[in-house]
């Protein structure tokens, strides 16, 4: 099949906050409007709309996609909702990409939104239903369990000290100080992270991203249209996604095979042979500190068990050879589920155009990768983006 080139030509984002005064519709509208305005695109020139948002249970509104359609610019347009749990924020742009790459449409706006705070007393309640209702839910699980179980397996198989994992929180929360959306930017030490309250060993409070309200959006265009809109398009050069089994107690959690499969699909499409040399900036999914490391390995950007070492060596620092989460990531900017993945796509857009201000990485990046992850530790979604020249 002959695929057309697809560019990101505009991006928009709201602040990420614990509880926003704005409704889900208002947040979606502001992110969408900012993305359209950033490339001077009137809504009439948008052919199609993709919306990404996580479970309806957060908002207590069934058919949430339809509910948010007009706030995403979808009024009387071809509209679709994408959803693969936490992986949604990078899956929605993949859906938008194929609407344009296939030749169906010349333009698409992709909007991701989450308002978790409506769910009381704590949005965690909406996560409990991901566990199997017969074999797991009677045990009274909470979402921290699966992260703690996976982190412990990863740490113990590779003999990784917790201090090295804490370093990810320090790096990302510091990076977030320069992000105008950020909810939890902070200057911390490894000791601060280690000494914060243990929630589910080996996870401490400062190794966990917050729950958030927020939205983010991008405008996609075919090559012909993109070149009329901007001299500085950022191409989507590769996409990949993959799902593993929901029987998560039957897999070795120390390594995310499905992320590797998604990455290999995207690298192949982008013609990338040596990812460690060719990916200049990366935004792996970091809802917990160890997840950034776990994902750098799954993305083949570090050997198995070696992501902590390259982090300690500063390779993933904002001024390093392969900056990771220069935005501040979910740990620092915040984690409005679907919007958090889209925030990473937006960050690559700004980084590859040299428009990230104080967050700008120093290696004048040509190619970047964003990745998200979710469900019962089973989905990997990957987008590779490339500066045009």
Partner 1 sequence: MLETGIRLHGTALEEEDFKTHRVFYTTDIPKLQYAWDCGVAMGHYLKGLKQGKLLGTYCKKCKRTVIPPRVFCELCFRNMDKWVELKDTGIVNTFSICYVTWDMKKLIYPEIPAVIEIDGASKGKGILHLLAEVDPKQVKLGMKVKAVWKPKSEREGSILDIKYFKPI
Site residues for partner 1, 163-222, by CB under 8 A, read 178-181, 197-203, 213-214
Q: Name residues contacting partner 1, limited to 60-79 (CB under 8 A).
A: 60
User: Helix or strand or coil: residue 50?
Assistant: strand
Q: Name residues contacting partner 1, limited to 129-158 (CB under 8 A).
A: 132-136, 138-145, 148-150, 152-153, 156
Identify whether the C-beta of residue 100 lies closer than 8 Å to the C-beta of residue 46: no
Identify whether the C-beta of residue 73 lies closer than 8 Å to the C-beta of residue 325: no
Question: Does 11 participate in binding partner 1 (rule CB under 8 A)?
Answer: yes
Q: How far is the CB of 319 from partner 1 (least distance, A)?
A: 16
Pairing verdict, β 281-283 and 6-13: unpaired
Q: How far is the CB of 172 from partner 1 (least distance, A)?
A: 16
- Applying CB under 8 A, which of residues 44, 187, 231, 252 lies at the interface with partner 1? 252
Region binding partner 1 by CB under 8 A among candidate stretches 28-36, 102-110, 163-171, 313-321: 28-36
Region binding partner 1 by CB under 8 A among candidate stretches 165-173, 234-242, 309-317, 357-365: 357-365
Q: How far is the CB of 19 from partner 1 (least distance, A)?
A: 5
Using CB atoms within 10 A of its CB, is residue 189 exposed (0-12), middle (13-18) or buried (19+)? exposed
Question: Does 19 participate in binding partner 1 (rule CB under 8 A)?
Answer: yes
Q: How far is the CB of 125 from partner 1 (least distance, A)?
A: 7
Q: Which is nearer to partner 1, 105 or 258 (CB)?
A: 258
Q: Which of 271, 293, 290, 273 is nearest to 282 (CA)?
A: 293
For the chain, how big is the Rg over CA atoms in Å? 19
d(CA 86, CA 75) in angstroms, rounded, equals 26
Q: Which is nearer to partner 1, 150 or 260 (CB)?
A: 150
Question: Does 355 participate in binding partner 1 (rule CB under 8 A)?
Answer: yes
Question: Does 232 participate in binding partner 1 (rule CB under 8 A)?
Answer: no
Using CB atoms within 10 A of its CB, is residue 250 exposed (0-12), middle (13-18) or buried (19+)? exposed
Question: Does 38 participate in binding partner 1 (rule CB under 8 A)?
Answer: yes
Identify whether the C-beta of residue 87 lies closer than 8 Å to the C-beta of residue 380: yes
Q: Which is nearer to partner 1, 122 or 268 (CB)?
A: 122
CA distances 302 to 228, 256, 288, 348, Å, are 39, 13, 18, 20
CA dihedral angle for residue 316, residue 292, residue 38, residue 83, rounded to 10 degrees: 160
The answer, yes or no, to whether the previous bond of 121 is cis (omega within 30 of 0) is: yes
Q: How far is the CB of 243 from partner 1 (least distance, A)?
A: 11
Q: How far is the CB of 177 from partner 1 (least distance, A)?
A: 8
The sheet carrying 79-82 orders its strands as: 79-82, 48-52, 107-115, 213-222, 6-13, 234-243, 379-387, 367-374, 281-283
Q: Name residues contacting partner 1, limited to 253-292 (CB under 8 A).
A: 253
Region binding partner 1 by CB under 8 A among candidate stretches 42-50, 221-229, 246-254, 285-293: 246-254
Q: Which is nearer to partner 1, 66 or 355 (CB)?
A: 355
- Applying CB under 8 A, which of residues 124, 195, 363, 364 lies at the interface with partner 1? 124
């Amino acid at each position: 099949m002959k695929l057309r080139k697809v560019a990101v030509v505009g991006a928009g984002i709201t602040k990420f906050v614990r509880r926003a005064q704005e409704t889900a519709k208002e947040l979606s509208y502001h992110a969408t409007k900012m993305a359209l305005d950033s490339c001077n695109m009137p809504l009439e020139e948008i052919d199609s709309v993709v919306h990404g948002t996580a479970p309806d249970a957060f908002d207590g509104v069934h058919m949430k996609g339809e509910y948010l359609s007009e706030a995403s610019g979808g009024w009387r347009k071809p509209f679709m909702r994408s959803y693969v749990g936490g992986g949604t924020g990078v899956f929605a742009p993949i859906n938008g990409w194929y609407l344009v790459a296939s030749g169906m449409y010349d333009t698409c706006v992709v909007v991701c939104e989450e308002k978790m705070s409506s769910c009381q007393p704590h949005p965690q309640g909406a996560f409990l239903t991901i566990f199997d209702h017969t074999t797991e839910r009677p045990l009274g699980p909470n979402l921290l369990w699966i992260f703690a179980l996976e982190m412990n397996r990863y740490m113990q198989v590779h003999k990784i000290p917790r201090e090295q994992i804490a370093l990810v929180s320090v790096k990302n929360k510091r990076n977030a100080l320069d992000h105008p959306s950020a909810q939890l930017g902070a200057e911390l030490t490894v000791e601060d992270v280690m000494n914060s309250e243990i929630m589910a060993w080996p996870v401490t409070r400062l190794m966990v991203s917050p729950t958030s309200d927020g939205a983010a959006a991008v405008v996609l265009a075919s090559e012909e249209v993109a070149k009329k809109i901007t001299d500085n398009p950022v191409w989507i050069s590769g996409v990949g996604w993959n799902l593993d089994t929901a029987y998560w107690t039957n897999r070795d959690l120390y390594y995310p095979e499905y992320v590797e499969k998604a990455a290999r699909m995207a690298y192949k499409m982008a013609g990338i042979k040596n990812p460690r040399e060719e990916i200049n900036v990366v935004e792996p999914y970091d809802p917990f500190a160890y997840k950034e490391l776990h994902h750098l390995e799954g993305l083949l950007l570090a050997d198995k068990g070696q992501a902590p070492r390259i982090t300690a060596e500063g390779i993933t620092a904002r001024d390093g050879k392969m900056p990771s989460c220069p935005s501040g990531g979910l740990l620092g900017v915040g984690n409005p589920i679907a919007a958090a993945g889209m925030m990473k796509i937006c960050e690559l857009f700004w980084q590859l155009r040299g428009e990230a201000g104080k967050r700008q990485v120093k290696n004048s990046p040509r190619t970047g990768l964003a990745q998200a992850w979710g469900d019962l530790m089973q989905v990997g979604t990957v987008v590779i983006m490339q500066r045009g020249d």
